[in-house]
Chain A
Amino acid sequence: MNDTSKQKVDYSAFPDKSGHFGIFGGRFVSETLIYALEELQSIYDGLKDNAEFQAEFDKDLAHYVGRPSPLYHAERWSRELGGAQIYLKREDLNHTGAHKVNNTIGQALLAKMTGKSRVIAETGAGQHGVATATVAARLGLKCQVYMGAEDVRRQALNVYRMKLLGAEVIPVESGSKTLKDAMNEALRDWSTNVDDTFYIIGTVAGPHPYPQLVRDFQAVIGREARAQCLEMTGKLPDALVACVGGGSNAIGLFHPFLEDESVAMYGVEAGGDGVETGRHAAPLNDGIPGVLHGNRTYLMEDENGQIIETHSVSAGLDYPGVGPEHAWLKDIGRVNYVAINDDEALNAFRKTTRTEGIMPALESSHALAYAEKLAPTMDKDQIIIVNLSGRGDKDILTVADLDGITV
């Protein structure tokens, strides 16, 4: 690659005014929702550079979420692998156990500004649902969470957590009964109750301005990691690794580093049974651009444009689309998108638990599994930051089940 011929991209200029990242993104929704999205955008545009709003957000992140989250040098694991030094960005230590809460805190502040009394959310693994139910409890907002019936079964613990927090979990029985169907149902609810309802989308997908505002709220991950890495090691990392379902934890880590050209980035999709089998959830590896859930992005679809069922051991990555900014970063070549299959992720789950005493979420285990491959190819003085996006307690029953153990 000839760097001098590469045109410098001003990443802060994206999305453009109409919500596009190149050909991706946009606002592909029914007419009923347009006004609500325009209203949300105008509120957000007014607040995003407002010092008071940022101060309130930062205060909540510090005192309620527990930020900054540590950047932890996984020395034993790095030594075993014999290559680059692996640092873990510990989003698993956030209140509610994952990066999702960064975004729900931000959107809850927006909901408060709009004066709406009810929030809804879609959830896959349940982490976003829990994070939404949590902020709703704190603000006294009515909360309903749509969750695919299949995921309700897979993530029983999170379902009960949401109920304890006072949210109503609505199992979605249509389609493939997973995250995409939960999102369809949440959009239907929002169309119906648009006057009093704020829709808290959990990832960097959906119609503009969601991909932008969720990214902005999650970018705290990368800002902290960048400063922490400089402070601890005196230099920038050589590589970033994060799992990508919709892609919110990955964009949160990547975005503040995009202009640091020396930093390589790896987004890790769910390879399921293997990308070559077709049974996976890796649209950036094996999909084509199309339109779903309000944005144009890479999708898993058949030759007639029907969205196809995805497969991953991890409910949080089991989604046929991906955030439009990732689609764009793939096309311009800034981020490498790779895939890790179920077995590799499960091995990484066990390995990290035994080697570092940290039990990662199955989603994050995909990123860890890729780091395990990448580190030995790099020098010992090089640095990889892996986003440990969530803790694995919610996945214990899934893992036990695969081991044939009834807990």
Chain B
Amino acid sequence: MSRISQQFAQLKTDGRKALVAYIVNGDPVREVTLPTMHKMVEEGVDVIELGVPFSDPMAEGPVIQKGHERALEHHVSLTDSLALVAEFRQTNQHTPVLLMGYANPVERMGYANFAAKAAEAGVDGLLTVDLPLEEVESLNRELSSHDIDNIFLLAPTTRVERARKIAEHASGFLYYVSLKGVTGAGHLDVESVQAKLEEFGALTDLPMCVGFGIKDAASAVKVARLADGVVVGSVLVEAMGQGSEQAPERVGAIVRDIRQALDQI
């Protein structure tokens, strides 16, 4: 069982909701990411989603775009991100880490090469925004041969037949994009999220997490009631963007708030 699956199994046993937290590697400086990851775990994050900076992050809203741009000022690469996970693993063997990014850096490294290096570094999952089901087969083969979960997105526009196929290829958990739009958008509609989660939940035993548009404890709680967990990103990246000084503490405080609220459910 993968580290991600183990974590979700444990959360289920404990009756708790998963808190998945996203920051961009190297944002705003290289040195701050590792301590922030440890701090997030300390404050109750269950899964770390590490953004791999890309020059053209097409699915990101303005906040996360800026995070990518800040990291790219220091040329933070996919290779650097694998090295960072290896460093994180020196003191933390239990918290799952998944990489989130875009296809091209992985293409450039080569699928087989990437999967081998990622497994060696201690990466547990990969979410590639622009590799939908139709284009992912050869990468998936490499990932599964190294027991790395491929995390798929489901969207409000995903039809049920397609969702069923996606669920068959997915592992770890499924990530429901709560709204039509980019990360950090502000028009979360809880009722429509509920309807879709009920429809998709019936198709699979995989845990379902909801992201895009969750900005605080209140919105996290609303959505978490309907799912197995929530993904928080833009609000953390915004906190990172305020400067590396005290960044782990600022992010830690946001995470703590959300964790406490989730544990009241």
Residue A30 at the chain B interface, CB threshold 8 Å = yes
Q: Contact: A305 with B104, CB < 8 Å?
A: yes
Q: Give the distance in Å from the alpha carbon of A127 to the alpha carbon of B44 in the complex.
A: 53
Residue B69 at the chain A interface, CB threshold 8 Å = yes
Given contacts A291-B107, A301-B104, A305-B105, contact A30 B78 (CB under 8 A): no
B62 surroundings in chain A (CB, below 8 A): 174
Q: Which residue of A lies closest to B79 (CB)?
A: A304
Q: Give the distance in Å from the alpha carbon of A296 to the alpha carbon of B103 in the complex.
A: 10
Q: Give the distance in Å from the alpha carbon of A106 to the alpha carbon of B18 in the complex.
A: 48
Residue B155 at the chain A interface, CB threshold 8 Å = yes
Q: Contact: A35 with B56, CB < 8 Å?
A: no
Within 8 A of A (CB), among B71-111: 72, 75, 77-79, 102-109
Residue in A26, A36, A187, A308 whose CB lies within 8 Å of B58: A187
Q: Contact: A306 with B105, CB < 8 Å?
A: yes
Q: Contact: B132 with A299, CB < 8 Å?
A: no
Within 8 A of B (CB), among A5-37: 18, 26-36
Given contacts A31-B153, A188-B59, A191-B181, contact A305 B108 (CB under 8 A): yes
Q: Give the distance in Å from the alpha carbon of A192 to the alpha carbon of B107 in the complex.
A: 27
A301 surroundings in chain B (CB, below 8 A): 104, 108
Residue A294 at the chain B interface, CB threshold 8 Å = yes
Residue B177 at the chain A interface, CB threshold 8 Å = yes
Q: Contact: A174 with B104, CB < 8 Å?
A: no
Residue among A34, A187, A299 with most chain B CB within 10 A:
A34
Q: Contact: A175 with B104, CB < 8 Å?
A: no
Residue in A18, A33, A184, A192 whose CB lies within 8 Å of B56: A184
Q: Contact: B130 with A30, CB < 8 Å?
A: yes
Given contacts A31-B154, A35-B159, A290-B107, contact A305 B78 (CB under 8 A): yes
Q: Contact: A32 with B156, CB < 8 Å?
A: yes
Contacts A31-B132, A35-B157 given; 14 further ones with Cβ under 8 A? Answer: A27-B134, A31-B152, A32-B180, A34-B155, A174-B62, A175-B55, A188-B60, A188-B61, A195-B180, A291-B107, A305-B78, A305-B104, A307-B104, A308-B55
**11 A-B pairs in the complex with CB atoms less than 8 angstroms apart:** A28-B135, A30-B130, A31-B152, A31-B153, A32-B177, A35-B155, A184-B57, A188-B60, A291-B130, A292-B56, A305-B109
Within 8 A of B (CB), among A165-207: 174-175, 180-181, 184, 187-188, 191-195
Q: Give the distance in Å from the alpha carbon of A304 to the alpha carbon of B53 in the complex.
A: 10
Q: Which residue of A lies closest to B105 (CB)?
A: A305
Residue A49 at the chain B interface, CB threshold 8 Å = no
B180 surroundings in chain A (CB, below 8 A): 32, 191-195
Residue B185 at the chain A interface, CB threshold 8 Å = yes
B72 surroundings in chain A (CB, below 8 A): 306
Q: Give the distance in Å from the alpha carbon of A296 to the alpha carbon of B131 in the complex.
A: 11
Q: Contact: B157 with A30, CB < 8 Å?
A: no
Residue in A30, A291, A306 whose CB lies within 8 Å of B153: A30
A191 surroundings in chain B (CB, below 8 A): 59, 180-182
Nearest CB of chain B from residue A233's CB, rounded to whole Å: 45
Q: Contact: B54 with A306, CB < 8 Å?
A: yes
A194 surroundings in chain B (CB, below 8 A): 157, 180
Within 8 A of A (CB), among B157-204: 157-159, 162, 166, 177, 180-182, 185
